[in-house]
Homo-oligomer: A and B are copies of this chain.
Amino acid sequence: MTEPRKSPAFLFDLDGTLVDSVYQHVVAWREALREAGIDLSVWRIHRRIGMSGGLLVQALLSETGVELSEDEVKQVQSRHAELYAEQIRTIAALPGASALLAHLTRTGVPWIIATSGRSAGARPMLAKLELPDDTPMITRDEVRWAKPDPDLFMSAAQRLGVEPAGAMVVGDSIWDILAARRAGSIGVGLLSGGYGREELERAGAFRVYEDPAAMLGHLHELGVRT
């Protein structure tokens, strides 16, 4: 008796990985922080996208030496959510994202979305990806700690019924790759969120592709036999 050969499962980050939304997040954070009296260079905000919103604000505060109360931090996060929502119509799926997910579904490879974003911002992305509303997705609302903690990816693997070691995390930021390693999964990087190849490799990504379209063209490199 031999077990059937198993494909890895895929745990996908959302922003910058499946949808081209990183710059809209950057702009929304910059404005929300500015309203709270915190002026920051844009690149510093970009480099924090993908981590939990609370941690992002704390990290940026510690760099600037500014102190905000817990309520003020919540206010910044809620302004970010509002400002981001205003820009949702300008966001498009990344090239190949819909095709990649459709291909995995068609060939029986398990996959799920796991995002540090809240459900309110993440759910509208499903339509852009031509996915049904009940597509499996773990959001920040469902875990105590978002990336770079491993909880999102561990919950996502559990939802699929796979071990984290048998899953690959696909993400655009070093927070995805760090959370993947902490969960015991293999990280795959995409350049479509604006990080450089070397940063993702140095963080520990097993492979780096330009975007979902390029990953779809190289699935055999990830052990997918179809």
Which one, A4-12, A103-111, A187-195, is touching chain B?
A187-195
- CB nearest neighbor in B for A200: B196
- Whole-angstrom distance between the alpha carbons of A214 and B23 in the complex? 25
Q: Does A27 contact B (CB under 8 A)?
A: yes
- Complexed CA–CA distance, A46 and B194 (Å): 8
Query: Is A130's CB within 8 Å of the partner chain B?
Result: no
User: Which of B42, B94, B195 makes the CB contact (< 8 A) with A41?
Assistant: B94
A22 on the B face (CB < 8 A): yes
A20 at interface by CB-CB < 8 Å: yes
Q: Which among A20, A42, A92 has the greatest number of chain B C-beta atoms within 10 A?
A: A42
A198 on the B face (CB < 8 A)? yes
> Out of B16, B27, B192, B199, which one reaches A23, CB within 8 Å?
B27
Verify if A211 is at the interface (C-beta below 8 Å from B). Answer: yes
Alpha-carbon gap, A211 to B43, bound state (A): 10
B39 touches A92 (CB 8 A): yes
Residue in A94, A192, A196, A199 with the greatest tally of chain B CB atoms within 10 Å = A196
Q: In the docked arrangement, what's the CA distance between A196 and B193, Å?
A: 12
Asked whether B192 lies within 8 Å of A41 as measured between CB atoms, the reply is: yes
Which residues on the B side are within 8 Å of A199 (C-beta)? Answer: 196-199
- Say yes or no for A95: interface residue by CB 8 A criterion: yes
Inter-subunit contact A202/B211 (CB<8 Å): no
Chain A interface residues toward B at CB < 8 A = 16, 20, 22-23, 26-27, 39, 41-43, 46, 92, 94-95, 191-199, 202, 211
Residue pairs across A and B with Cβ atoms less than 8 A apart, 25 shown, are A16-B43, A20-B41, A20-B42, A20-B43, A22-B42, A22-B43, A23-B27, A39-B92, A41-B94, A41-B95, A41-B192, A41-B211, A42-B194, A43-B191, A43-B192, A43-B193, A46-B194, A194-B194, A195-B196, A196-B198, A196-B199, A197-B199, A198-B198, A198-B199, A199-B199
